[in-house]
Amino acid sequence: MEILSLWAQIGAVVVLLLISGFFSISETAMMALNRHRLKDLVIKGVIGAKTTQYLLAHTNQLLCVILIGNNLMNVIIPVLTTSIALRAFHNHSAVLSITTGIVAFLIIVFAEITPKIVGATYPEKIALPASLIIKPLITIARPLVWFINILVNSILFILHINMNRGRDLRMSNEEWRSVILESSNFIPSKHRSILLNLFNLESISVDDVMTPRQRIESLDLDVPFDQLVKQLETCYHNQLIVYQGDIDRVLGMLHVRKTLAALQNQKFGREKLRELLVEPYFVPSGTPVFQQLQYFQENQNRIALVVNEYGEVQGLVTLKDIIDELIGEFTITLPRMASGAVDGWNAQGECIVTGGISLRELNRRLSLRLPLDGPKTLNGLILELLETIPEADVSMVINGTRIQVMQIDNQAIRTVKLFRPTQLDTV
């Protein structure tokens, strides 16, 4: 009978170790579970998902039951083990010391470390079934849980610890950006790029994506009428800015297709052209791109003129410019030479571009690292660096990119040659 009792106590120790391991593995799996994934499982009606969601919404009760159960098992196990040692080997100090070491080892390995590793590795597979067991335990132990929670809340109140403050923490844009960058195994690269660009919209303005004043295709109402007609018939855009004498004196926006259709009328003249003008839409320089996107949506506009504090036209921004910034260039409305677009590196690792090209476009199309916190164009960047209008054939290196000025036009740089950065250039 004593032998049977001894084996019964050993069996009880094993069972208690398993129960303690169950509480440890459940706690880790519950805390490691993806909340967004859990919501999807609840919608799909997966067994245990709704119960798990309920438990995570009452974390204080969940942790209270798990910790009570786990610590209770870890207290009983040494008591039983000591009893077994005393019964088998009598009161021997060396045996008791060895037994204590063995019990500590078993608890650490089988009731703590191993269950927690497994729980963190397979949170979904473990948390959902475990919730079906833990929830009834919470119901049974409700009076004890209530008493302990009252005691804990009282201690937190005395220590001036506000639990609600911790729950109100929100992730910053940089934290979200880190989450997206680390999700390469789950989000396709193109989707990840769009999400990152979406965060960038908060930090850039319309000045970064607009077509500069010098590159705006516009219509001067003071030129001879036959020249107006010729420009309308050969323009690349569906809408043109119409001004009188100076582009800062904007009269309105002209719909090219409607105007070409009206040209069939022999009585069509300047006054008729004026009647077809639509009131222009102006936005101040420095307007955030994301805010401008909302303005386009609210005003049902697709084109806006960017003006400075003096009312002078700085450039033109369109809905397409913002979308291109978000998802990359996807439509071609101009021949490449007319739009000043970048063709990419040639076989010699060189690329010839215009001085007025946007630095953001160069960085995006050629994978460069030209600074964006100053001038918006390549011409402006070179002039800022040299602090003078350079002569042709002047070369320089900016952030690892070698730049050679090829042509100067009046007071601006007309043509620039870029050289593909190499490891030697970036050192």
Q: What are phi and psi of 37, to 5 degrees?
A: -65, -40
Q: What is the mean pLDDT of residues 292-321?
A: 89
What's the CA gap between 211 and 354, in Å, rounded? 13
- Of residues 2 and 29, more confidence is placed in 29
Same domain as 152, residue 84 = yes
Domain termination site, one of 337, 353, 373: 337
Residue 414 lies in a domain: yes
CATH number of the domain that residue 224 is part of = 3.10.580.10
Same domain as 281, residue 149 = no
CA-to-CA separations, 9 to 6, 79, 85, 108, 164, in angstroms, rounded: 5, 11, 11, 20, 45
Asked if residue 324 has pLDDT above 70, the reply is: yes
Alpha carbons within 13 A on the beta-carbon side of 146: 5
**Residue 317, H or E segment:** strand 313-318
Give the angle subtended at the CA of 22 by the CAs of 18 and 27, to the nearest 5°.
150
Asked if residue 141 has pLDDT above 90, the reply is: no
CATH number of the domain that residue 373 is part of = 3.30.465.10
pLDDT in tens, 124-140: 899 999 999 999 998 88
Please give the order of strands across the beta sheet that includes 211-212.
Answer: 211-212, 313-318, 303-307, 282-284
Q: What is the mean pLDDT of residues 80-93?
A: 77
In the prediction, which pLDDT does 131 show? 92
Same domain as 159, residue 16 = yes
pLDDT grade, residue 338 (50/70/90)?
Answer: very low
In the prediction, which pLDDT does 79 show? 84
Strand partners, 283: 306
Give me the amino acid identity at 379.
Answer: N
Same domain as 238, residue 129 = no
Give me the amino acid identity at 135.
Answer: K
In the prediction, which pLDDT does 50 show? 92
Q: Token match 């921004």: residue?
A: 317
8 A C-beta contact, residue 396 and residue 382: yes
In the prediction, which pLDDT does 146 show? 86
Same domain as 235, residue 323 = yes
Q: How many domains does the chain have?
A: 3
Asked if residue 423 has pLDDT above 60, the reply is: no
Q: What is the mean pLDDT of residues 393-410?
A: 86
The terminus-to-terminus CA distance of the chain in angstroms comes to: 82
Asked if residue 328 has pLDDT above 90, the reply is: no
pLDDT in tens, 147-205: 888 888 888 888 877 766 555 556 666 777 777 777 666 677 777 777 777 777 777 88
User: From start to end of 97-238, where are the E strands?
Assistant: 211-212, 218-220
Among 112, 110, 111, 81, CA closest to 97: 81
Q: What are phi and psi of 159, to 5 degrees?
A: -85, 0
Asked if residue 215 has pLDDT above 90, the reply is: no
**Owning domain of residue 144:** 2-167
Residue 192 lies in a domain: no
What's the CA gap between 410 and 389, in Å, rounded? 9
Domain termination site, one of 152, 167, 182: 167
Same domain as 363, residue 310 = no
Domain termination site, one of 293, 314, 337: 337
Query: Going by DSSP bridges, is the β-strand pair 211-212/313-318 parallel, antiparallel, or unpaired?
Result: antiparallel
pLDDT in tens, 258-283: 888 887 776 777 888 888 899 999 99
What's the CA gap between 231 and 223, in Å, rounded? 11
Tokens of 267: 């009585």
Same domain as 394, residue 302 = no
Same domain as 152, residue 19 = yes
In the prediction, which pLDDT does 388 show? 82
Q: What is the mean pLDDT of residues 362-386?
A: 85
Asked if residue 91 has pLDDT above 80, the reply is: no
Same domain as 404, residue 328 = no
Residue 90 lies in a domain: yes
Same domain as 259, residue 143 = no
What's the CA gap between 35 and 59, in Å, rounded? 13
8 A C-beta contact, residue 354 and residue 418: no
Same domain as 262, residue 238 = yes
Residue 176 lies in a domain: no
In the prediction, which pLDDT does 132 show? 92
Mean pLDDT of the chain: 82
Same domain as 401, residue 321 = no
In the prediction, which pLDDT does 156 show? 81
pLDDT grade, residue 361 (50/70/90)?
Answer: confident
Residue 182 lies in a domain: no
